[in-house]
Amino acid sequence: MAETRWLDEHEMRAWSGFLAASALVNRRLDQQLKDDSGLSHPQYEVLVRLSAAPGGELRMTELANGLINSKSGLTYQVTQLEKAGLVRRRSCPSDVRGVFAVLTEAGRARLEEAAPGHVAMVREALIDVLTPAQLEALADGLGEVSRRLREHGG
């Protein structure tokens, strides 16, 4: 193995900033969502994805891909959402194994109710803190970072 290239001061600053911001923003968002509308951040994410999908439904696998948690974590969250009546399961006609998660009316309503507060918090915690240049650097840089991790890791 090659000699270790340690992080210089610049790199270290970026790394710890990223690490801290990542943890703090996530925590703050989860807090806000739970207090404001009784949804966890993972649950909110599921609802958002479903609402953006045609017909308000997605296969479990598609939902898990590029999402925060593992397959089993998704099963759990969808079950929770189903108990709350915000989502229901529908089996796929062309593939018996397949399962669609479908956004219910109540789910869409709940999402629309939660969205404004969520967006406001996203602005307050992250977006409105950054300069336009930083915003663009973040979009480009972190976009590339996640693209690579997605490819390389499944």
Partner DNA sequence: GGCTGACGGTTCGAATTTGAACAACCCTGC
Partner DNA sequence: GCAGGGTTGTTCAAATTCGAACCGTCAGCC
Taking Cα atoms as reference points, which of 63, 44, 43, 61 lies closest to residue 53? Answer: 63
State the number of binding residues for a copy of itself (CB under 8 A).
53
Among 11, 71, 98, 106, binds a copy of itself (CB under 8 A): 11
Q: Which is nearer to a copy of itself, 12 or 92 (CB)?
A: 12
Among 20, 52, 92, 109, binds a copy of itself (CB under 8 A): 20
Q: Which secondary structure element, helix H or strand E, spans residue 99, and what is its range? A: strand 99-103
What's the DSSP call for residue 4? P
Which residue pairs from 125-129 have beta carbons closer than 8 angstroms and sit at least 24 positions apart in sequence?
A: 125/24, 125/25, 125/28, 125/29, 126/21, 126/25
* Token digits of residue 42: 């993972």
Q: Indicate whether 143 belongs to the interface with a copy of itself (CB under 8 A).
A: yes
Q: Indicate whether 42 belongs to the interface with DNA (CB under 7 A).
A: yes
List contacts with a copy of itself (CB under 8 A): 1, 4-7, 10-11, 13-15, 17-18, 20-26, 28, 66, 68, 115-116, 119-120, 122-123, 125-127, 129-146, 148-150, 153
